[in-house]
Structure 1
């Protein structure tokens, strides 16, 4: 593979972390990126993407990110069965572990489907970070549920991306812990400053109602289309890639503006010039367990938020009256109108103050700290159990 081992800096004291991911590193900046950039402050982090298939010999493409994460993309010879392709990837990863001199490492899994590529690994601790119920997403492979059961048997810890997901997984693993979406408050609070408007939305009239994120089967096309039809004076700014749905199915109109994918760094620039931020998720299998990262991000930006009744938005944000919850197009339209009317009033300021107080307890730094503590505790417990087993054998 010709992967040269990089000298381990003194500050990287914790065991290396091998991450089996279903999302490209340079896709939407979300939970995996937030957590792994923090992990890389004290560990060597190898972020293993899903493979690319082509007419070439098997190899790992390697890229070093400025944050310290090593991104690995397996390039696998095309024409093999899925099982053989995963076996080939597993061989590449075993070579990686050997060539990098990883005598002790932890395994972090996002997608159970790729569990076979970990064959032959001997991690200190195995973590399943279940950020979504992937088996309920459009196009999910049928093997996913069976492999999740296998992962539950191997995992020492299960972290969930929200409380609704935790309720489902705690029945299946004793080491389940809820870690709902967190936020970098300072990053999004920049939207409250006098930031220059983004060029591609600067010419749009107000009011502007915005959304950013992946536009897929979770996005309520009918809701947004009907709102835009009813309220031609409202401008709908929609940021993000269109995935797994036909772009031709998206509603169109003079007040609907699809501006494409934006970087994480650009988001405050757009939020600074929105009047309402939207969570227009459909209520379906794919959204039953989601915990949208953008909920606290919108609030940190100081923008009023309107959401459909997604469980992990209702609890706690709806119950604390930090986000308006609306079910159906009539209620959603009314909630947006109320949010627009409240923007520059004492009631709006009071709502923002309550949201700020709630966000003061959230940070990705704290989330990673808490996760790390659980990992070290699990490692210590395993070591203690192995020591006792060794004494018993003697």
Structure 2
């Protein structure tokens, strides 16, 4: 689907909290769509000087020297120089890191003659960055609640984000819960939920060749696409594994936490991170899709990006009781506790085809193309400061 061509071509400077490529992300998916009609300069988040974690590679500290990666004529990707560690963020350290980052961004922009951009940041600590950069408009796209994030000094990062909310022309959040939390601090506030690359994931609802890794995994399969990290409720998976011994539980994505506990479960399979292009083939083998999240400050305020990816396939979804899923009651099977999880999987497995068609229709309306239309609407509104004659795309943009 082609979305409406905007009135003017913009330079968009994106400060992302997500690396380009790999698993799907809000910033990369949305900027890929915006690059249809605008010129996008996408800066990946910097690596810390003192990284911790099993997936770290030392060459990442110097990869920023490789220069600009041209995806196409309108989309350029830049890695950024390493900075001091951010998990235990101090305001003084953040000021120093953001000043260094700003100098690098300005050098790149000057080399490309990238002038008068619209700045879109996905990083809550960007308040100390804005004063160094020239821009026409500034937007903060908030995809997660910082209180539930990786930061150890919650009060500090919350204060930095509060300052950012007041500085930018507009804030966009992905859920109603985030709207409630941010509404008193923003000049303008909109909701654009996460979307799906519908044309990519819809093939998972059809007959496709299974990946070799799944040839020997017996059916039925309850599956999960995404990172296995602090959000995963290990008790949900353990309970389902023990009660549904004839089922296989397949987790496709990088494993950051609970690897040893999961490997002890005989019918749980950790397949690791896969190329984005392969994901529909793995999804096609799921009989039931799952979102087994714990409930904390992050997940209560999130809108799972995988929901509409699952919906694109039409397959049934079993999830924790996340507030963002309330609007899809009847199409998502909700597990309120570990005991509910295996029961809801069985209910989902026996559902009618009518629900599958409804999920696909909802996914089509929530493609990244539609989300980009919502962002275009916001940019037009900010420029005109007047309500526009044509409203935002249906079910993709909300403003209270």
TM-score for both structures, normalised by structure 2:
0.83
Matching residue of 1:132: 144
Q: Which residue of the other structure, out of 271, 274, 280, is the alignment partner of 1:268?
A: 280
| Ranges of 4+ aligned residues in structure 1 off by more than 4 Å | 53-60, 76-82
Contact 1:277/1:303 (<8 A) preserved: yes
Secondary structure at 2:365 match in 1: coil
- Could you give the per-residue CA deviations for residues 104-135 of structure 1, whole angstroms, max 9, x where no partner exists? 11110111214323332121111111011133
Q: 2:246 aligns with which of 213, 233, 237?
A: 233
2:39 to 39, 44, 48: 44
Q: More deviation in 184-193 or 70-79?
A: 70-79
Instruction: Return 5+ residue gaps in structure 1 as ranges.
Output: 1-10, 343-347, 383-394
- Indicate conservation of the 8 Å contact 1:134/1:140, yes or no: no
The Cα RMSD (Å) is 2.6
Q: Note the C-alpha offset of 1:230.
A: 2.0
Q: Note the 1:206-221 alignment, pairs <5 A.
A: 206-221=219-234
Corresponding residue of 2:302: 290
Residue in 2 that maps onto 1:367? 371
Aligned-pair distance for 1:66? 4.7
Give the direction of change, closer, same or farther, for the CA distance of 1:17–1:326 in structure 2 (3 Å limit). Answer: same
Query: 332, 350, 354: which is aligned to 1:341?
Result: 350
Q: What is aligned with 2:109? A: 97
What's 1:324 paired with? 333
Unaligned runs of 5+ in 2: 1-5, 50-60, 86-91, 387-400
**Per-residue CA shift, 1:45-74, capped at 9, x if unaligned?**
111122236697996842222584211112
TM-score (norm 1): 0.85
CA contact (8 A) 2:171 2:190 kept: yes
Alpha-carbon contact 1:228-1:256 (below 8 Å) kept:
yes
Higher Cα radius of gyration: 1
Distance 1:30 1:37, change over 3 A: same
SS in structure 1 opposite 2:20? coil
Aligned to 2:390: none
Instruction: For residue 200 of structure 1, give the secondary structure of its aligned residue in structure 2.
Output: helix
Larger RCO (CA within 8 A; separation ≥ 6): 2
Summarize the Cα distance change of 1:60–1:171 in structure 2 as closer, same or farther, 3 Å threshold.
farther
Structure 1 residues 144 and 226, CA, compared in 2 at 3 Å: closer, same or farther? same
Residue in 2 aligned with 1:391?
none
2:9 to 2, 8, 14: 14
Whole-angstrom CA distance in 1 between matches of 2:339 and 2:277:
34
Q: For 1:156 and 1:310, locate their aligned partners in 2 and report how far apart those are by CA, in whole Å.
A: 30
Going from structure 1 to structure 2, the CA distance change for 1:58 and 1:160 (only over 3 Å counts) comes to closer
